[in-house]
């Protein structure tokens, strides 16, 4: 991708970093929720809680 100037590149990089951070935050939240649900399921089945 070609940039008109350094400011355009900096704007692009900042947007990319925000997108990446939000994506990682969402992924982490989804994994936590998945583990919470797996623990509930394990408790209902009488198994020991598992975390991944």
Q: What is the pLDDT of residues 4-41, one digit of tens each?
A: 899 999 999 999 999 999 999 999 999 999 999 999 99
Predicted confidence at residue 19, as pLDDT, reads 93
What secondary structure does DSSP assign to 16-52, as a single string? HHHHHHHHHHHHHHHHHHHHHHHHHHHHHHTPPP---
More reliable by pLDDT, 26 or 48: 26
Helix (H, G, I), strand (E, B) or coil at 10: helix
Instruction: Supply the pLDDT for residue 50.
Output: 61
pTM of the complete model: 0.63
Q: Which two tokens stand for residue 7?
A: 């400011």
DSSP SS3 for 35: helix
**pLDDT for residue 3 is more than 60:** yes
On the question of pLDDT at 49 being above 70, the answer is no
Q: In the numeric block, which tokens belong to residue 6?
A: 């350094």
């Amino acid at each position: 991708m070609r940039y008109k100037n350094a400011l355009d590149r900096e704007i692009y990089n900042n947007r990319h970093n925000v997108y990446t951070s939000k994506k990682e935050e969402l992924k982490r939240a989804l994994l936590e929720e998945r583990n919470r649900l797996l623990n509930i399921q394990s408790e209902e089945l009488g198994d020991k809680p598992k975390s991944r």
